[in-house]
Amino acid sequence: MSLPSGWFGRLAAPVVAAPMFLTSTPDLVVGTSASGIVGSFPALNQRSTQGFEDWLIEISGRLDPARDAPWGVNLVVHKSNDRLEADLAQLVKHKVPLVITSLGLNRDLIREVQGYGGVVFHDVISMEFAEKAIEAGVDGLIAVTHGAGGHAGVLNPFAFLQQLRTVFDGTLLLGGAVSTGAQVMAARLMGADLAYIGSRFLATRESGVSERQKAMMVDATAEDVILTPAVSGIPANFLRQSFVGAGLDPDDRRPPEELNLTIRNKDVKPWKDLWAAGQGVGAIDDIPAVADLCHRLREEYRAAGRHAAELIHG
């Protein structure tokens, strides 16, 4: 198992609760990490760098590094993010244990985080991006595979993970429709060190989205998830019914720019009115407290391990 040093023995189950725009709150991060699962949130969930720092202070004040699991922040490393430098300065100041980068790589950022003892995981959807990230010196690679909530890849998890393992011996995470502890065990058996779970944590009491959105997650099946570039120009998975609820046709196949225009003309707010979710919704049928969900994942993970041993030894 390839985990960052200092993480061994601190996790109830090998899981990172993935950062989710408008969804991951301090209560969700603290709830997961205090229950032995790595919590995280996107820096952009706060409207300003000052607000972001307030959350860093709140979360580190509520967690005990000697007892709780590590936690992390997601930074969008893209030229559209004009807060990158200021938010990075706050991360360094508060020595956030884990930084998850997406939509771009930045070598200086990686060095700065590693310089204070933090680790950087980077999410990838192809071997090309993975090789660039390895070359840049990341500590971990997150394989975002077919069926993941939000910006998803198109590769099959078996195929992608196997290829990644041949070129990378750092921490490997698998994301995409993982909703149960048995699936976490399956990811481990396939060669991942950690599972990366988003959608399942969206349907918890502590997540920041509306009760209507949580209820839609419970009702939805994998077939209700559509992969569309309509919202941000990049293919991402959304709940079909949220398009219908916003007066849009989920099967409209016009080019992304045109659809984006339609969305704006209708005064629909992407992500706020159109709800991202992965195909793992089919396995979600309740809205538990996050501590109960973490406990359940741990128990299911252990039971799956015992089951795997029985399959071999009879």
Ligand X SMILES: Cc1cc2nc3c(=O)[nH]c(=O)nc-3n(C[C@H](O)[C@H](O)[C@H](O)COP(=O)(O)O)c2cc1C
Where do contacts with ligand X occur on this chain (CB under 6 A)? 18-21, 23, 42, 74, 102, 123, 144, 148-150, 175-178, 196-199, 202, 276-278, 280
Count helices and strands in the chain by DSSP H and E runs: 12, 11
- 65 or 86: CB nearest ligand X: 86
Whose Cβ is closer to ligand X: residue 277's or residue 291's? 277
Give the residue from 91, 87, 99, 189 showing the smallest Cα distance to 139. 99
Nearest distance, CB of residue 198 and ligand X, angstroms? 2
The CB density around residue 310, as the number of other CB atoms within 10 Å, is 9
Nearer to ligand X, 47 or 313 (CB): 47
State the Cα–Cα distance between residues 302 and 308, nearest whole angstrom. 10
Task: Provide, rounded to whole angstroms, the least separation between the CB of residue 276 and ligand X.
Answer: 4
Measured from the CB atom, the residue of 65 and 260 that comes closer to ligand X is 260
Nearer to ligand X, 44 or 65 (CB): 44
Phi-psi region of 276 (alpha: psi -120 to 50; beta: other; left: phi over 0): beta
CB of 176 to ligand X, least distance (A): 5
Q: Using CA atoms, how far apart are residues 296 and 180, in angstroms rounded to an integer?
A: 8
CB 215 → ligand X: shortest distance, Å?
Answer: 15
8 A C-beta contact, residue 32 and residue 10: no
Closest approach, Cβ 201 to ligand X, in A, equals 8
Amino acid, single-letter form, for residue 131: E
First to last CA, the chain: 26
> Checking DSSP bridges between strand 236-239 and strand 225-228, what pairing results, if any?
antiparallel
Q: Which residue number has the CB closest to ligand X?
A: 198
